[in-house]
């Protein structure tokens, strides 16, 4: 066990949610007769849930500042409909219609952020009003009729990485290259972390646990690469998944390594203390809400590209899945705690649940019931552990390091 802890870089418990995700996948694979872990199902799982995970990225930041956004689904549906109408009725090129959609999302976020930051109206009330406004708006401008989307958008919703080079690998070479880059990036970050830790503490971590850790992760990434790269001809790793990966890298950097990211966690941890420390609380509120709606517009574009049309009911209930992903990932209800990576794990748990239950023939009604119990159990488990003085789910997944923004919330210093 001592050697296992060295390899994992801490206690086994910190990987509880990752282990739960893997176990859930294996259980569904067995109960569905091997239909869960297949190239086509994994490709559909990523393409069909990428837009929700994009929403979850922005929702995490909103929840970290102690707010909530109920309008994201309606904003996504409205901006997607405006894009489709601009392309069909005004004859705009697809790229200009996309820019208009993103501008609509940014404007919606600025509107809601204005009421929150300037007048102090809670985000719950502000975005509840926004949900009504934009839900009514999408039905109004569409006249309750679906509108076809430009065919160029299909690549953003259901496209795949292209094939290139020799075929001797027996795989999609774009996917293979992506997997190799992912392994190289992980190895680089692990070795750099070891070097930085030695510079800060004066103690150098043994090399063999780092090497074993890199090899284990390389095997996992290699297996996933093989699954995505050996599907039917013309398929590979989905473009929506690539968009999601890029966003995760960008927003993980923003939240963990930038001044704005530190302000987000500081405001969520203790708004008064943050203000006394020189943090512009109003600006942080405004930019966080604006960012959320901008990502909602992007999610709407991806969904419209996948469905090839914008419909009046697009976005209905999306906010619930995004919020559930954030809390299952271990974010604190009171704000101040949460990470992008853990939120993605929470979102994948929800995606695997949806996919696995569908493969087992479970209806949408019972699926919602099961997802509700999973959300309740995850939050209850997190709250119980904090009351008992144990590490929370988020703390187990990714222990906070000295100087990281998670420490901005004194109440969650055990995470």
Which DSSP string corresponds to 302-325? HHHHHHTEE-TTTTTTHHHHHHHH
Q: With 0-12 CB in 10 A as exposed, 13-18 as middle and 19+ as buried, what is 206?
A: exposed
Q: What is the pLDDT of residue 405?
A: 45
Report how far residue 294's alpha carbon sits from residue 300's, in angstroms, rounded to the nearest whole number: 10
The number of CA neighbours under 13 Å toward the Cβ of 245 is: 13
Mind listing the pLDDT tens digit for each residue in 351-364?
999 999 998 888 88
Distances in whole angstroms, Cα of residue 325 to Cα of each of 187, 241, 369, 379, 392:
28, 17, 16, 11, 16
Q: What is the pLDDT of residue 378?
A: 74
Q: Between vectors from CA 295 to CA 289 and to CA 298, what angle results, nearest 5°?
A: 150
Q: What is the pLDDT of residue 9?
A: 64
Q: What is the pLDDT of residue 407?
A: 42
Helix axes of 39-64 and 239-257: crossing angle, nearest 10 degrees: 30
SS3 of the chain: the string is CHHHHHHHCCCHHHHHHHHHHHHHHHHHHHHCCCCCCCHHHHHHHHHHHHHHHHHHHHHHHHHHCCCCCCCHHHHHHHHHHHHHHHHHHCCCCHHHHHHHHHHHHHHHHHHHHHHHHHHCCCHHHHHHHHHHHHHHHHHHHHCCCCEECCHHHHHHHHCECCCCCCCCCCCCHHHHHHHHHHHHHHHHHHHHHHHHHHHHHCCCCCHHHHHHHHHHHHHHHHHHHHHHHCCCCCCCCEHHHHHHHHHHHHHHHHHHHCHHHHHHHHHHHCHHHHHHCCCCHHHHHHHHHHHHHHHHHHHHHHHHHHHCEECCCCCCCHHHHHHHHHHHCCCCCCCCCCCHHHHHHHHHHHHHHHHHHHHCCCCHHHHHHHHHHHHHHHHHHHHHHHHCCCCCHHHHHCCCCCCCHHHHCHHHCCC
Report how far residue 110's alpha carbon sits from residue 316's, in angstroms, rounded to the nearest whole number: 22
Distance of CA 126 to the CA centre of its chain: 23
Provide block-wise average pLDDT over 10 residues at a time, the chain (415 residues): 63 67 91 92 94 96 95 97 96 96 97 95 95 96 94 93 80 92 93 85 80 91 94 91 96 94 94 93 96 97 95 94 90 87 91 91 88 82 62 47 44 39
353: its two tokens: 């649940």
Q: Which domains does the chain have, with CATH numbers?
A: 2-159+238-412 (1.10.3470)
Which residues face 310 on adjacent strands? 147
For residue 227, the surrounding DSSP H or E stretch is helix 207-229
Neighbours of 80 (CB within 10 A): 33
Neighbours of 26 (CB within 10 A): 12
Q: What is the pLDDT of residue 410?
A: 40
Residue with tokens 């789910």: 393
Report how far residue 199's alpha carbon sits from residue 196's, in angstroms, rounded to the nearest whole number: 5
Residue from 360, 381, 335, 394 nearest 123 by CA: 335
Is-contact 304 84, C-beta < 8 A?
A: yes
Q: What is the pLDDT of residue 362?
A: 87
């Amino acid at each position: 066990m001592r050697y296992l802890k060295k390899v994992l870089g801490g206690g086994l418990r910190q990987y509880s949610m990752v282990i739960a995700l893997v176990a859930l996948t294996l259980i569904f694979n067995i109960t569905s007769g091997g239909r869960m872990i297949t190239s086509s199902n994994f490709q559909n799982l990523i393409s069909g849930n990428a837009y929700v995970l994009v929403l979850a990225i922005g929702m995490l930041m909103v929840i970290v500042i102690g707010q909530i956004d109920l309008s994201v689904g309606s904003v996504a549906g409205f901006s997607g409909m405006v894009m489709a109408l601009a392309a069909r009725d005004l004859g705009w090129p697809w790229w200009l219609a996309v820019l208009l959609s993103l501008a609509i999302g940014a404007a919606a976020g600025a509107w809601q952020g204005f009421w929150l930051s300037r007048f102090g109206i809670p985000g719950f009330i502000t975005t509840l009003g926004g949900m009504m406004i934009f839900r009514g708006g999408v039905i109004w401008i569409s006249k309750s009729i679906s509108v076809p989307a430009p065919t160029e958008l299909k690549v953003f919703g259901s496209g795949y990485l292209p094939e290139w080079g020799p075929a001797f690998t027996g795989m999609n070479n774009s996917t293979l290259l992506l997997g190799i880059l992912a392994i190289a990036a992980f190895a680089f970050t692990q070795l750099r972390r070891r070097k930085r830790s030695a510079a800060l503490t004066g103690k150098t971590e043994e090399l063999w646990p780092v090497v074993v850790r890199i090899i284990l992760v390389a095997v996992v990434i290699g297996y996933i690469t093989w699954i995505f790269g050996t599907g039917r001809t013309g398929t590979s790793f989905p473009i929506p998944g690539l968009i999601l990966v890029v966003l995760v890298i960008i927003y993980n950097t923003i939240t963990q390594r930038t001044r704005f990211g530190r302000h987000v966690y500081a405001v969520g941890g203790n708004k008064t203390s943050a203000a006394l420390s020189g943090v512009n609380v109003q600006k942080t509120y405004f930019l966080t809400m604006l960012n959320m709606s901008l990502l909602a517009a992007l999610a709407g574009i991806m969904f419209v590209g996948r469905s090839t049309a914008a419909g009046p009911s697009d976005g209905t209930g999306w906010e619930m899945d995004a919020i559930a992903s954030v809390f299952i990932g271990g974010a604190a209800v009171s704000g101040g705690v949460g990470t992008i990576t853990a939120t993605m794990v929470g979102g994948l748990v929800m995606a695997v649940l949806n996919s696995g239950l569908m493969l087992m023939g479970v209806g949408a009604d019972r699926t919602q019931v099961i997802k509700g119990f999973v959300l309740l159990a995850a939050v209850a488990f997190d709250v119980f552990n904090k009351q008992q003085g144990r590490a929370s789910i988020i703390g187990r997944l990714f222990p906070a390091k000295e100087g990281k923004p998670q420490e901005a919330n004194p109440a969650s210093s055990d995470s």
